[in-house]
Amino acid sequence: MKAFFKKLKMGKGKEISQWRSEVIEKFINLEWLINSIISQKYLKACSYPFLFDFLYDVNCTFALKRNVLFKISPDFPEKDNLNRLNNIRNLFAHCNQELFRNISNAPPSDAIGVIPNPKNPERDICFKQLHEEFNTKEPAVARALLEIYYSLGGQLLPVPDSKN
């Protein structure tokens, strides 16, 4: 079987790019909440040096932070959903090569390919479904993380009005 890959272009890719941005930005917010929970638990405050020097270091992975979160809250009610959101985030972040299967020449520029699932290349990724699933599960995960943060004495301060 001959196959051709190409990076997604605008058009079909524009919608996926918008979903990608939304999923990644919302996941960054979830990770920020996890970082705040870890800092609040061990330092009793949101410590900027701890956050920036340790938790935001490239070697401090999401998997490590997630494991620490689960030690802080062993009965975290959204474990499965948090793991699924991370998986969806990774698909959006790392899968963007269109595949054209069973063709003998390079595809025409207006051809629409598929994006194979890295865990099962015979199945294609449906980013629309992933986006909808993410947006369905994310609010409950965010609420559960906020509850932990508040239970540890954490506070969210209002953002000052920038018009003044």
Q: Where are the domains of the chain?
A: 3-151
Determine the pLDDT at residue 41: 98
How far is 102 from 22, CA to CA, in rounded Å? 33
Contacts 24+ apart (CB under 8 A), 68-73: 68/38, 69/34, 69/37, 69/38, 69/148, 72/37, 72/38, 72/41, 72/148, 72/152, 73/37, 73/148
Reported pTM: 0.83
Determine the pLDDT at residue 117: 87
Over residues 127-137, the pLDDT tens digits come to: 999 999 999 99
State whether the Cα torsion 121-1-96-9 is positive or negative: negative
**HSE of 84, CA atoms in CB hemisphere, 13 A:** 15
Determine the pLDDT at residue 1: 46
How far is 118 from 26, CA to CA, in rounded Å? 23
Q: What is the residue-level pLDDT of the chain in tens, covering all 164 positions?
A: 455 555 554 345 578 889 999 999 999 999 999 999 999 999 999 999 999 999 999 999 999 999 999 999 999 999 999 999 999 999 999 887 777 777 777 777 777 778 888 888 888 898 999 999 999 999 999 999 999 999 999 998 777 776 65
Determine the pLDDT at residue 61: 97
- Structure-block tokens of residue 63: 């998997």
Determine the pLDDT at residue 66: 98
SS3 61: coil
